[in-house]
Amino acid sequence: MSLVPAAIRTLPLGMLATLIAIVLFGLATLYSAAGGSISPWASNQGLRFVLLSGLMFALSRISVARWMDIAYPLYGVTLVLLLIVELFGKIGMGAQRWIDLGFIRLQPSEFMKIAVVLSLAKFFHRLPAIYVSTPSVLVAPIALFAVPAALVMLQPDLGTAMMISMASVLVIFLAGVGLRWFLTAGAALLAALPVAWSMLHDYQKNRVLVFMDPEGDPLGTGYHITQSKIAIGSGGLFGKGFLDGTQSHLAYLPEAHTDFIFATMAEEWGVMGGLFVVLTYGYLIRWGWRLGVAGDTIFTRLTACGLAFTIFLYVSINLAMVMGLAPVVGIPLPLMSYGGSAMMTVLILLGILMAIHRENVGGSRLNGTGSFAV
């Protein structure tokens, strides 16, 4: 008989330790970005993490079966909130993304990243395997992600629309949909690129052009990328030292505490600091993905892999963005960048993954049908 309570025994201690390490490193970077002050960024971010961690643990106690039950209602409510954003949303930094309730600003597009994965996982969980690649059946899952992605594009928020679409495509692929459908869709997207380009806002086109030639306008639209590269490059192998960064302290680097926090960190901690960040996030992603591979139902497998891939998209898009390998699309580095929306999203999805982990460890299983291609 174990002396350790079951609630403690089923906790993913390695994941939790990694999570805390990422957050603490982020708080240290925010402390430095504020010139060696805990306020306003580090203190607020730390308080957010404590409160949202409570939410994460609470959500982890919800059964996997219950998460499947609420998948469609959660999706429906989030879709309605996206429509409300279009009609009454608060405009900030040129985009209409938030619902302002006075005491809090909600960004429904963040919740959709989770809701769409849960809904697609439930759809394929209930779908008999023989119908997975049926053209008429695929209309529903495509609509499940295409409609919210289109609404998010209208805000406009290209980065979030990309994340919703890419995570959804992965879930559909893992569900066993034939490769020919993805090749056909890819060809159609390539053919539609001129139309998509014409629909982009001017600032979005400028970001793509700057990505292709950042030195073309280093003091204008290319300023963010130029200063970010300077910060990362000047850090060298071991960095300039904690609190000794110049790009952020002298205000050369825009958004040093939000979207470009990796550049702030890399200047002070160098390649070794960057390696630490990549490895810790990599551990979180690997942990979530392995939950999916080990799952014994369609819903748990697709949910775990889809949510783990969502974390991967956050990290990979942000790092590519700050290193000039992708256009600037406003995706933060979750758990490190200052702000509550991305942190809330990641801690909620980690809570769901913890629920899957708890049932895997405890032996509680769902009964599902269908196919899963891994």
Q: Which of 315, 306, 353 is nearest to 333 (CA)?
A: 315
Backbone angles phi, psi at 92, to 5 degrees: -150, 130
- What's the pLDDT band for 281 if we cut at 50, 70, 90? very high
Percentage of the chain surpassing pLDDT 90? 62
Structure confidence by residue, pLDDT tens digits, 302-345: 999 999 999 999 999 999 999 988 888 889 999 999 988 899 99
Mean pLDDT over 198-215 rounds to 69
What tokens appear for 107 in the block? 């960004």
* pLDDT: which is higher, 7 or 239: 239
pLDDT beyond 50 at 370:
no
Residues of the chain with pLDDT > 70, as a percent, come to 86
The structure tokens 């005491």 sit at: 103
Residue-wise pLDDT for 87-111, tens only, equals 876 555 555 567 766 556 778 999 9
Cα 162 to its chain centre, rounded Å, is 11
- Please give the model's pTM, rounded to 2 decimal places: 0.90
Of 93-102, 145-154, 175-184, 347-356, the one with minimum mean pLDDT is 93-102
Could you read off the pLDDT of 122-131 as tens digits, one per residue? Answer: 999 999 988 8
Residue ranges with strand state E in the chain: 90-92, 95-100, 105-106
At 374 the pLDDT is 38
Higher pLDDT pick, 249 / 44: 44
* pLDDT of 90: 59
Residues in Cβ contact with 106 at an 8 Å cutoff, skipping those fewer than 6 apart: 81, 98, 99
* Strand duo 90-92 + 105-106: pairing: unpaired
CA-closest candidate to residue 16, choices 283, 215, 235, 250? 283
Give per-residue pLDDT as tens, 42-71. Answer: 999 999 999 999 999 999 999 999 999 999
| pLDDT tier at 188, thresholds 50, 70, 90 | confident
Query: What is the reported pLDDT for 69?
Result: 97
Burial class (CB in 10 A: 0-12, 13-18, 19+), 256: buried
Residue 180 banded pLDDT, cuts 50, 70, 90: confident
Residue 175 has pLDDT above 60, yes or no: yes
Q: Render the burial of 171-199: b for 16+ CB within 10 Å, e for the rest.
A: bbebbbbeeeeeeeeeeeeeeeeeeeeee
Quote the pLDDT of residue 306.
98
What is the average pLDDT score of the chain? 87
Mean pLDDT of 14-37: 96
CA distance 115 to 123: 12
- Using alpha carbons, list the distances in angstroms from residue 210 to 121, 218, 253: 37, 9, 17
Q: What pLDDT is recorded for position 95?
A: 56
Residue 366 confidence (pLDDT): 40
Q: Is the pLDDT of residue 368 over 50?
A: no
